[in-house]
Amino acid sequence: MPDKAQASDTTGGVEAVERALRVLDCFEPGDTGLSLKEVADRSGVNKATILRLSVSLEKFGHITRDAEGLFHLGPSLWRLGSVFRQNLRMGPIVRPVLASLVSATGESASFYVQRGNSGVCLYRVNSHRLARDHVEEGEIIPLSMGSSGQVLDAYSLREGKQATNIRKAGYYLSLGERDPDVAGLSVPVLGLEGELLGAVSLSGLRVRFSESVVDDYRAAVLDAAHQIRTEIGEI
């Protein structure tokens, strides 16, 4: 079976490389392993080609295959993602701001960016408390769920009443959306021309996000977002 036709491309790319990238791009958040048929259906690459490509992809650690024959993304992609994050000029700016936010509130702080239909935790400083919301850098979140997902969605993709209300308020408070015991408060970080750079998020146990402290948390997160935007604008 030939590969499914893709949109025409006049850039002169290498067809075999593009097929391999289509295979890698077919994986989505929440996948626990894809069968050969699922990879073929999602990528549009035929099964025989996938099997040939997977030999090279496995050799370089971009794909692995388990005992049941299911395909998984490989560890080399995490390494490349780590290099990407480390090379971003935002790192030296964002990390100290998140650390200060954790010191001021005692809760965990994150910086999320929107990638396609998902959000990615680019930078994270976890709370020093034993009972906390724990997230790792590189973790993928769905949009339209949780404070950071809602903010990224509202400022990048979504139209409608919810998105309008979030943009009007300038923040979003989530109480148990992704986990019934976890709360989060996120604020967008916008560039000098109003473009979305990411979202600063403060998260922790829901019982600690009481009405008496939420206003202070919101002020702290807004200040963090403003500081990041200002320092990025000076680069």
pLDDT tens digits, residue range 120-146? Answer: 899 999 999 998 888 888 888 888 789
pLDDT at 1 over 60: no
Main-chain phi, psi angles of 178, to 5 degrees: -90, -30
Q: How confident is the model at residue 9 (pLDDT cuts 50, 70, 90)?
A: very low
Q: 0.85 exceeded by the pTM?
A: no
Is the separation of the CB atoms in 144 and 174 below 8 Å? no
pLDDT at 29 over 60: yes
The pLDDT score that the predictor gives to residue 83 is 56
Q: How confident is the model at residue 175 (pLDDT cuts 50, 70, 90)?
A: very high
In tens, the pLDDT along 77-126 reads: 877 776 566 556 788 899 999 999 999 999 999 999 887 778 889 999 99
The pLDDT score that the predictor gives to residue 157 is 65
The pLDDT score that the predictor gives to residue 12 is 54
Is the separation of the CB atoms in 183 and 205 below 8 Å? yes
The pLDDT score that the predictor gives to residue 227 is 94
In tens, the pLDDT along 188-234 reads: 999 877 888 899 999 999 999 999 899 999 999 999 999 999 887 75
Looking at every residue in the chain, the average pLDDT score rounds to: 87
User: What is the average per-residue pLDDT within 6-14?
Assistant: 52
Percent of the chain with pLDDT over 90: 59
Structure tokens at 10: 């006049």
Q: How confident is the model at residue 37 (pLDDT cuts 50, 70, 90)?
A: very high
pLDDT at 10 over 50: no
Dihedral sign of CA atoms 152, 191, 77, 56 in order: positive
3-class DSSP assignment, residue 186: strand
Q: Report the alpha-carbon distance of residue 1 to residue 45 in Å, rounded.
A: 9
The pLDDT score that the predictor gives to residue 13 is 65
User: What is the average per-residue pLDDT within 169-196?
Assistant: 91
Is the separation of the CB atoms in 121 and 203 below 8 Å? no
The pLDDT score that the predictor gives to residue 11 is 47
